[in-house]
């Protein structure tokens, strides 16, 4: 690839997530947004105009065939990630897929195989690990201040945040699962990232559907405006899941997630329990936002609380820029979607454990 040629970028999906990818490409040097695909004609036109994507398609296959893309982002319902990514990789296009990577580990594995076979980058976008507090906590963990972390708890609990009751999000075929698949995977990713990628040996999980089947617990406002929103009785996934994971390094991770639950406010959290220190990260949501990062240890026998500087949050844009750096790197072997696949395999194990009512080996 010539150093001077701008990378030609396309995005499939014109919902909230698709626009975040457009913002990311728009912020990048050496990239030209050339094409956009999506099924809502008005939104396709609006985003196409806003981000200068002159080629617009209702049919994503036509976009891959005609737009001469170098890179493509996939921000569509989850069950479309694999077919779209595999087609793009087979057409010689590097792929950045939204999370979750696919509706199950088998489809995620097919995506990895296609990236390897075509020597292309496959990246899965986990933006929440790029939050400022998470970055600060990661620096603290990596410094060794907390010692050996043997226990971690992570969760994303929503009070009323089912994303589009009756949309593709709440149907098993298109989403592959409920909050464990949708937002639990962000917290699994965040925890694994903070813990330096331990393997997961076993999982014992449960799932519940207490709100969705009654047509309550739906998100209001912009977040509820999902494509395909329809019959509220079509709630086929869980709305709360919890999992106990034994890690390969002897540690334990407890993960809980809900789209709807009777709690005072939304809560995203990670608690780390180390041999030499501990940390609590909390990001609160509706009805009031707040953030908390507490790190405590002992210095020369004195209890000590650390107040780290918080770097800027990177979000989608930072993830898009990282993806482009991987594309431009000489060797793509470390960038075939391996981490996304690992997350999918653990999420599969959670659902298997829940349905079989027992602990399963990963």
Ligand X SMILES: NC(=O)c1ccc[n+]([C@@H]2O[C@H](COP(=O)([O-])OP(=O)(O)OC[C@H]3O[C@@H](n4cnc5c(N)ncnc54)[C@H](O)[C@@H]3O)[C@@H](O)[C@H]2O)c1
- For residue 148, the 8-state DSSP code is S
Compute how many other C-beta atoms are within 10 angstroms of the C-beta atom of residue 245.
26
In DSSP terms, 218 is beta-bridged to 162
- Helix, strand, or coil (residue 160): strand
Q: Which is nearer to ligand X, 60 or 351 (CB)?
A: 60
Task: Give the shortest CB-194-to-ligand X separation in angstroms.
Answer: 18
Q: Return the number of the residue (98 or 266) whose C-beta is nearest ligand X.
A: 98
| Residue whose CB is less far from ligand X, 77 or 277 | 77
Q: How far is the CB of 96 from ligand X (least distance, A)?
A: 11
Around Cβ 29, how many Cβ atoms within 10 Å?
8
Q: Which residue is nearest to ligand X (CB)?
A: 15
Q: Which is nearer to ligand X, 10 or 274 (CB)?
A: 10
Minimum CB separation of residue 258 from ligand X in Å reads 16
Q: Which residue has the tokens 């240890």?
A: 297
Fill in the DSSP letter of residue 218: B
Coil, strand or helix at 304:
strand
Least distance (Å) from ligand X to the CB of residue 202? 26
Q: How far is the CB of 88 from ligand X (least distance, A)?
A: 12
> Which positions lie near ligand X, rule CB under 6 A?
12-18, 37-40, 60, 75-78, 80, 98-99, 125, 127, 182, 226-227
Q: Which is nearer to ligand X, 126 or 211 (CB)?
A: 126
**CB of 150 within 8 A of CB of 250?**
yes
Decide: helix, strand or coil at residue 55: strand
Strand partners, 274: 149
């Amino acid at each position: 690839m010539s150093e001077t040629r701008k990378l030609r970028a396309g995005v499939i999906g014109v919902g909230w997530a698709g626009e975040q990818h457009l913002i990311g490409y728009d912020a990048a040097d050496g990239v030209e947004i050339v094409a956009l695909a999506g099924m809502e004609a008005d939104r396709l036109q609006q985003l196409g105009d806003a981000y200068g994507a002159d080629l617009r398609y209702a049919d994503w296959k036509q976009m891959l065939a005609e737009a001469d893309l170098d890179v493509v982002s996939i921000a569509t319902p989850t069950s479309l990630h694999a077919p779209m990514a595999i087609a793009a990789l087979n057409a010689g296009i590097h792929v950045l897929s939204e999370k979750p990577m696919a509706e199950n580990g088998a489809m995620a594995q097919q995506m990895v195989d296609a990236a390897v076979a075509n020597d292309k980058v496959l990246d899965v976008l986990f933006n929440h690990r790029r939050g400022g507090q998470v970055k600060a906590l990661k620096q603290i963990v990596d410094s060794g201040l907390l010692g050996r972390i043997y226990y971690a708890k992570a969760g994303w609990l929503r009070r009323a945040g089912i994303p589009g009751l009756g949309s593709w999000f709440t149907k098993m075929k298109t989403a592959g699962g409920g909050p464990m698949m949708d937002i639990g995977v962000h917290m699994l990713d965040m925890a694994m990232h903070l813990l330096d990628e331990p393997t997961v040996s076993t999982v014992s999980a449960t799932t519940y559907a207490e709100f969705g089947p009654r047509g309550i617990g739906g998100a209001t406002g912009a977040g509820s405006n999902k494509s395909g929103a329809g019959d509220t009785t079509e709630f086929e996934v869980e709305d709360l899941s919890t999992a106990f994971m034994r890690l390969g390094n002897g540690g334990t991770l407890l993960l809980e997630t809900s789209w709807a639950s009777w709690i005072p406010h939304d809560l995203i959290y990670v608690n780390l329990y180390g041999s030499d220190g501990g940390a609590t990260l909390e990001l609160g949501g509706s009805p009031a936002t707040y953030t908390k990062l507490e790190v405590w240890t002992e210095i020369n026998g004195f209890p000590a609380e650390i107040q780290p500087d918080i770097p800027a949050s990177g979000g989608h844009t930072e993830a898009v820029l990282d993806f482009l750096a991987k594309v431009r790197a000489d060797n793509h072997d470390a960038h075939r979607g391996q981490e996304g696949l690992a997350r999918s395999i653990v999420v599969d194990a959670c659902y298997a454990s829940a349905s079989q009512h027992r602990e399963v080996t990963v």
